[in-house]
Amino acid sequence: MGILDRLFGGRFTMPPPEETNLSASAIMKELRPERSDSGQKKALEAFAWALVAFIPEKEGARLVRRVMRRYAMGDDAPSALTEGFLNDPKGQKLEHLVLLSLDWRGYDVFEYKAPYLVSASGVKVPYACVREGASSMPEVLHNFDHWLARFGKRYLHLDTGGENYDGVIVDADRLGAITELAGRAGINVSLESF
């Protein structure tokens, strides 16, 4: 303020800020956007719990808390899910991989992480990535889905609004219920890539 005072010849004065009696939580509540649909929040939490069903309960609970915290901070449902699971330092651990995110040329990442994803989903047969003439990432993921179908699993693509191919492994017999939960949570899912 001293430089502005000198610049304007002493005419620059500002009244002190008004004090408030609001608590920090009341201030944060005012800053966060109000969500009118509590059903979407419950559906997002149920969807996140359905995705972490294969991993240990303590780790799953930690990931679901992260997703719900992101949602409470104002993220939309797809962003809360991806940020909660994929945030590198505190997100999902490699041995308990739930959500796989790849870019259009992420063949090396897929080759490295797909066996962990398969193992975490409960499939006992190890997965060896073979591109089998697939030239694009959607074709590689389509072949992966066909491989999983032999074990009663499916690879479900999530439309998170970004350019990455995000997906999870789900039980084939629970596919309808999980798709319905995702729809109620505001997340588009499909067996085909977006």
Stretch 62-87: mean pLDDT: 92
In a domain, 93, yes or no: yes
Two structure tokens written together for 128: 């060896």
In a domain, 129, yes or no: yes
In a domain, 19, yes or no: no
74: left (phi over 0), alpha (psi -120 to 50) or beta: left
In a domain, 147, yes or no: yes
In a domain, 10, yes or no: no
In a domain, 172, yes or no: yes
In a domain, 179, yes or no: yes
Enumerate the β-bridge partners of residue 101: 166
Residue 1 has pLDDT above 60, yes or no: no
Residue 86 has pLDDT above 70, yes or no: yes
Torsion of CA 6, 7, 11, 14, to 10 degrees: -90
Residue 55 has pLDDT above 90, yes or no: yes
Total domain count for the chain?
1
Query: What's the number of CA atoms in the CB half-sphere (13 Å) around residue 39?
Result: 6
Give pTM, 2 decimals.
0.79
Q: What is the pLDDT of residues 138-163, one digit of tens each?
A: 999 999 999 999 999 999 999 988 88
**Which range marks the domain in which residue 126 is found?**
38-190
Q: Is the separation of the CB atoms in 42 and 152 below 8 Å?
A: no
Two structure tokens written together for 62: 């930690």
Q: Which of 147, 153, 161 is nearest to 189 (CA)?
A: 161
In a domain, 2, yes or no: no
